[in-house]
Amino acid sequence: MIEKKDINILAIESSCDETAAAVVRNGREVRSNVISSQIDLHKLYGGVVPEIASRKHIEKINQVIEQALEEAETTLDDIDAIAVTYGPGLVGALLVGVAEAKAIAFAKQLPLIGVHHIEGHISANYIEHPSLKPPFLCLVVSGGHTHLVRVKEYGKYEIIGRTRDDAAGEAYDKVARAIGLGYPGGPKIDRISKEGNSDAIVFPKPHMENYDFSFSGLKSAVLNYINGCKMKGESFAPEDVAASFQKAVVEVLVEKSMKAVEEYGVKQFAIAGGVASNTTLRKAMEEACKVRGIEFFYPSPIYCTDNAAMIGVAGYYEYLAGTRHGLDLNAIPNLKIGER
Ligand code: KG4
Ligand code: ZN
């Protein structure tokens, strides 16, 4: 009898400010997931500084990969393929991961699989939810992206809506900065909103046609409110501003997602990306899906923000589909997600 061999993928992610490596077995089993975050470094500047990010990735990447192999109790000899994020993201940061992946693939004569970062975020949902299978809809909300995606099959995507300006996470970060909460703002707004009144201030809910989003108007309305208070010498309650801002964001995300769920008639809906760990968003989506009899999925917080396990999962399905990249694989900062 021929035994089915396990497929072990070493995955690398370096598109923004986390240097990450993971070993994933058979697509859904995370054997290790190592993340070296640069947040404390970028905090000093109020956001990610691309040049610093690239330099830090170079310093950390070998260590992170060694640790991922060690924690998975494996070596490169047991790895079947190398998966790496090659876009979208910061070009200098992406290049570090891509060059590393190419070097390992060349040295060990392993297949190389370039993965789209958003495909990784979506695939993070597969790790903890064996019952989630395409077709389904996924809302990807992170610091760089707000995409409503139709997952038609493993590795086959159609973007049905996207932000026209700021990403949801970007709006969280900018509002948090204006309130004086620091970077990254999302988790801080999440936390202080719990003590605030979400009806205290009525911020405009951004309305776009179809499934597109826009958050820059809402962000400006919050900044205007804060500046107005300051100019009048009035104080404002940061927790009320945070809660009212969050209410507007969450309402729009839920409304559009549910409209799409109904139109496309899917039975499963998932959220992904850093903002998917937001407690108010999760609760609101959970309720909206329950009313409609739709199964709702979200990853644990560690798989919401950038990590390499999600790249290993996406890489596995690409591996099965026969995706292979050559050693000419390049970083593509504005890489489009799409049909294979
Ligand atoms: O997915 P991610 O790590 O990076 C990108 O690919 O962009 O997302 C980071 C973003 C940041 O904007 C951060 O403020 C936001 O996710 N975020 C949150 C929460 N945790 C992280 N936003 C709202 N609520 C949270 N709990
Ligand atoms: Zn991301």
- Considering only residues 4 and 138, tell me which one the structure prediction assigns the higher pLDDT: 138
Which residue's CA lies nearest to atom 13 of ligand 1? 186
- Considering only residues 116 and 52, tell me which one the structure prediction assigns the higher pLDDT: 116
pLDDT band at 4 (very low <50, low <70, confident <90, very high): low
How many Å separate Cα 298 from the centre of its chain? 12
Which residue's CA lies nearest to atom 11 of ligand 1? 143
Q: Which of 118, 245, 305 to mutate to test the pocket of ligand 1 (most atoms within 8 A of CB)?
A: 305
Give the span between the Cα atoms of 209 and 50, in whole angstroms.
Answer: 34
94 lines ligand 1 (CB under 6 A): no
Q: Is the pLDDT of residue 339 over 60?
A: no
- Ligand 1 atom at shortest distance from the alpha carbon of 18: 3
pLDDT band at 73 (very low <50, low <70, confident <90, very high): very high
Give the span between the Cα atoms of 189 and 277, in whole angstroms.
Answer: 12
Averaged pLDDT score across all residues of the chain: 95
Q: Is the pLDDT of residue 69 over 70?
A: yes
173 lines ligand 1 (CB under 6 A): yes
Instruction: Decide: 203 and 221 in contact? Cβ < 8 Å.
Output: yes
State in Å: Cα 193 to ligand 1 middle.
16
3-class DSSP state for residue 266? Answer: coil
pLDDT band at 1 (very low <50, low <70, confident <90, very high): low
Query: What pTM was estimated for this model as a whole?
Result: 0.95
156-162 and 146-153: which strand pairing? antiparallel
Calculate ∠ Cα 91-97-100, nearest 5°.
130
- Lowest-confidence range among 62-71, 201-210, 307-316? 201-210
Residue 301 has a pLDDT of 97
Residue in 283, 225, 222 with CA at minimum distance from that of residue 250: 283
299 lines ligand 1 (CB under 6 A): no
**H or E, element range at 318:** helix 309-320
166 lines ligand 1 (CB under 6 A): no
169 lines ligand 1 (CB under 6 A): yes
DSSP 335: P
Give the span between the Cα atoms of 124 and 304, in whole angstroms.
Answer: 7
6 Cβ contact list (under 8 Å, min separation 6): 25, 26
163 lines ligand 1 (CB under 6 A): no
3-class DSSP state for residue 79? Answer: coil
Which residue's CA lies nearest to atom 16 of ligand 1? 274
Q: Which of 123, 147, 172, 335 to mutate to test the pocket of ligand 1 (most atoms within 8 A of CB)?
A: 172
Mean pLDDT of 42-56: 86
| Percent with pLDDT over 90 in the chain | 89
Task: Quick: pLDDT tens for 160-184.
Answer: 999 999 999 999 999 999 999 988 8
Task: Quick: pLDDT tens for 126-152.
Answer: 999 999 999 999 999 999 899 999 999
Two tokens, residue 302: 């560690």
Task: Quick: pLDDT tens for 27-36.
Answer: 999 999 999 9
Three-state secondary structure readout of 150-195: EEEECCEEEEEEEECCCCHHHHHHHHHHHHCCCCCHHHHHHHHHCC
Task: Quick: pLDDT tens for 277-318.
Answer: 999 999 999 999 999 999 999 999 999 999 999 999 999 999
State in Å: Cα 275 to ligand 2 middle.
10
307 lines ligand 1 (CB under 6 A): no
State in Å: Cα 15 to ligand 2 middle.
8
- Ligand 1 atom at shortest distance from the alpha carbon of 279: 26
CA dihedral over 289, 290, 296, 301, signed as positive or negative: positive
